[in-house]
């Protein structure tokens, strides 16, 4: 447990120190909601619980801020596609959690990533004559990795990853345009 906590704490501190300040009001201008989902690479109960805990927390935070949000649920990343955004949203901010874990010889490791991004159908770089491209613009991404006893590890990794994501969500929520 101590080793798992130590790794998570060190990664949390390192990630915070290296983070660049994002101009959230500019990045979220024109967005009309938020989708929340979890890409799960494990068919294990602990991974499903991490997905549920993190997406539930994110939805609750967005709900407290009265930001329109849709829970896309969790999908098994090896054979399922990310669910489509709801028809009521044209250009949402995507909050995606990625869960990946291993068990090799009794040693458990979990990598938990969180991403804030926007999908574009026809993005064009400012001033460019190039044709439009489809893609995902990643605005922020954080990663937390650790190893240790699986039950203690899942709880510690989730807590550390959520602290990183909460720091960015707080800024997004503060910058979110209010409807007049």
Residue with tokens 């500019």: 26
| pLDDT value of residue 126 | 73
By the 8 A CB rule, do 161 and 129 touch?
A: no
The pLDDT confidence band at residue 20, using thresholds 50, 70 and 90, is: low
CA distances from 115 to 3, 87, 105, 118 (A): 26, 22, 30, 10
pLDDT digits (tens, 9 = 90+) for 114-167: 999 998 877 667 777 778 778 888 999 999 998 888 778 889 999 999 999 999
Query: 169 by DSSP, 3-state: which?
Result: helix
The pLDDT confidence band at residue 52, using thresholds 50, 70 and 90, is: very high
Domains of the chain (ranges plus CATH)?
Answer: 2-11+32-124+133-175 (3.30.160)
By C-alpha distance, which of 114, 171, 115 is closest to 144? 114
pTM of the model: 0.82
- Write down the mean pLDDT value for the chain: 84
pLDDT digits (tens, 9 = 90+) for 75-95: 988 888 888 899 999 999 999
């Amino acid at each position: 447990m101590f080793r798992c906590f130590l790794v998570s704490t060190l990664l949390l501190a390192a990630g915070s120190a290296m983070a660049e300040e994002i101009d959230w009001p500019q990045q979220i201008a024109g967005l009309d909601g938020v989708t929340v989902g979890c890409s799960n690479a494990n068919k294990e109960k602990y991974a499903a619980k991490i997905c549920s805990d993190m997406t539930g927390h994110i939805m609750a935070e967005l709900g407290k801020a009265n930001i329109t949000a849709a829970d896309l649920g969790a999908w098994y990343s090896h054979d399922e596609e990310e669910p489509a955004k709801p028809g009521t949203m044209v250009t949402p901010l995507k909050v995606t959690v990625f869960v990946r874990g291993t068990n090799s010889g009794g040693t458990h490791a979990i990598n938990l990533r969180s991403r804030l991004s926007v999908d574009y159908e026809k993005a064009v770089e400012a001033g460019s004559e190039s044709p439009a491209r489809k893609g995902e613009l990643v605005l922020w991404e954080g990663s937390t990795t650790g190893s240790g006893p699986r039950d203690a590890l899942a709880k510690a990794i989730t807590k550390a990853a959520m602290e990183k994501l909460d720091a960015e969500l707080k800024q997004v929520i503060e910058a979110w345009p209010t409807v007049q």
